[in-house]
Amino acid sequence: MMRKSDSPGRRKKGTTAAKLRSVVVTVADEDLSEIHAIAEMLRSRGMRVESILAATGQITGAYAKPVSQLKGVKGVVDVEEPPDIQLPPPDSTEQ
């Protein structure tokens, strides 16, 4: 029988995981033709790339380290952390 602590995806005591934060990376206009290569460079630095928006020059994903480490990638002009937005429940009086 599998114990709860042995279940897949659970970490053993004493280990820590850095918290992933959502990020939006903006690529320079002159580097848009290289957006897929830039996404690979971001992956190599530890970013989990979720989407490549070639038309807008943006790459979205998640990253656990300081975003300043992504700003050093050639072709990256900005890295933003979108604010967390929490909507009230549907039955709330605050709408």
Domain range enclosing 47: 21-80
pLDDT digits (tens, 9 = 90+) for 56-89: 999 999 999 999 999 999 999 999 998 878 888 8
Residue 16 inside a domain? The answer is no
Residue 25 inside a domain? The answer is yes
Residue 67 inside a domain? The answer is yes
What is the count of structural domains for the chain? 1
Residue 88 inside a domain? The answer is no
Confidence class for position 16, pLDDT limits 50, 70, 90: very low
Q: Is 0.75 topped by the overall pTM?
A: no
Q: What pLDDT shows up at residue 17?
A: 57
**3-class DSSP string for the chain:** CCCHHHCCCCCCCCCCCCCCEEEEEEECHHHHHHHHHHHHHHHHCCCEEEEEECCCCEEEEEECCCCHHHHCCCCEEEEECCCCCCCCCCCCCCC
- The CATH code of the domain that includes 42 is 3.30.70.260
Residue 46 inside a domain? The answer is yes
Residue 68 inside a domain? The answer is yes
Residue, of 10 and 94, whose pLDDT is higher: 94
